[in-house]
């Protein structure tokens, strides 16, 4: 079986296209051993047709006279004469060594090199993060002491603003004047025939504790 990939073709200068969708790109497929057998055309939209003008022998001629490509900018062209009609066109290009080199450079620049750069940057970021963690761990005790000092100072300032003070160990309460009503006993003796209670609390002593 012989298959040629046609990018575009003309017969006597007129475009040869898929009869169904007018696509100019298609394949010409020839099978068998008899050169007089017609080939079949198959376009990229899955349309297929038989072409009696182009035989397996003509397909072999096209394959024999194709120019091939030596450089990436070259076209793989052909031109033959069948029954007085000129068939000319451009075949789908085969890869040249230069194409392979260009693809290699493109693959390196667009895929390999950016991937290596991303891996390098990731490694650098990971190393920096580890270094920062180590430094933070080494300085943590000092930071904790500073934080505790700041917290104590803030707490003291807040206590002063809120009116609270710490107990003074040397503080001694002022002496209380004895109540003149009960003479400091804290209660008054009473006599009553109606109640069993014989004393009541001194309102002065159990109030402010002082009479003045």
Residue 22: inside a domain, yes or no? yes
Q: What is the mean pLDDT of residues 49-70?
A: 91
| pLDDT bracket for residue 210 (50, 70, 90) | very low
Phi/psi of residue 168, each to 5°? -90, 120
pLDDT of 207: 60
- Please identify, among 36, 63, 91, the residue that sits at the C-terminal boundary of a domain: 91
For residue range 65-93, list pLDDT tens digits in order. 999 887 777 889 999 999 899 999 999 87
Top pLDDT among 155 and 91 is at: 91
| Domain limit, last residue, from 75, 91, 107 | 91
Position of tokens 């002082």?
210
Q: How far apart are CA 178 and CA 173, in angstroms?
A: 15
Range of the domain at 42: 2-91
2-39 tens-digit pLDDT: 999 999 999 999 999 999 999 999 999 999 889 999 99
Q: What is the structure's pLDDT at 7? A: 93
Tally of domains within the chain: 2
Task: State pLDDT tens for residues 102-127.
Answer: 666 655 566 666 766 777 777 777 77
Residue 144, domain member (yes or no): no
Q: Is residue 203 part of a domain?
A: yes
Question: Within a 10 A sphere around the Cβ of 54, how many other Cβ atoms?
Answer: 25
Position 79 in a domain: yes
Residue at 163 is within a domain? no
Q: Report d(CA 40, CA 1) in Å as an integer.
A: 11
CA dist 129 and 140 (Å) reads 16
In a domain, 16, yes or no: yes
Model pTM score:
0.44
In this model, does residue 211 exceed pLDDT 50?
no
Q: Is residue 170 classed exposed, middle or buried when 0-12, 13-18 and 19+ CB atoms within 10 A define those classes?
A: exposed
From 52, 73, 91, the end of a domain falls on: 91
Residue 88 is predicted with a pLDDT of: 96
């Amino acid at each position: 079986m012989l298959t040629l990939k046609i990018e575009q073709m003309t017969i006597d200068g007129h475009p040869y296209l898929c009869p169904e969708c007018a696509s100019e790109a298609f394949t010409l497929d020839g099978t068998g051993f008899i050169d007089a057998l017609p080939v079949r055309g198959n376009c990229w939209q899955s349309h297929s047709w038989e072409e009696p003008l182009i035989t397996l022998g003509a397909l072999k001629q096209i394959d024999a006279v194709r120019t091939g490509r030596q450089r990436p900018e070259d076209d793989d062209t052909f031109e033959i004469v069948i029954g007085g009609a000129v068939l000319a066109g451009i075949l789908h290009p085969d890869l040249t060594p230069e194409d392979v080199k260009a693809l290699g450079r493109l693959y390196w620049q667009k895929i390999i090199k950016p991937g290596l750069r991303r891996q390098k940057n990731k490694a650098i970021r990971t190393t920096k993060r580890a270094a920062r963690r180590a430094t933070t761990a080494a300085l943590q005790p000092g930071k904790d002491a500073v934080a505790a000092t700041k917290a104590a100072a803030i707490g003291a300032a807040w206590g002063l603003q809120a009116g609270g003070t710490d107990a003074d160990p040397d503080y001694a309460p002022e002496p209380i004047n004895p109540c003149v009503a009960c003479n400091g006993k804290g209660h008054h003796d009473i006599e009553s025939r109606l109640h069993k209670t014989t004393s009541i609390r001194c309102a002065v002593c159990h109030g402010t504790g002082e009479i003045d």
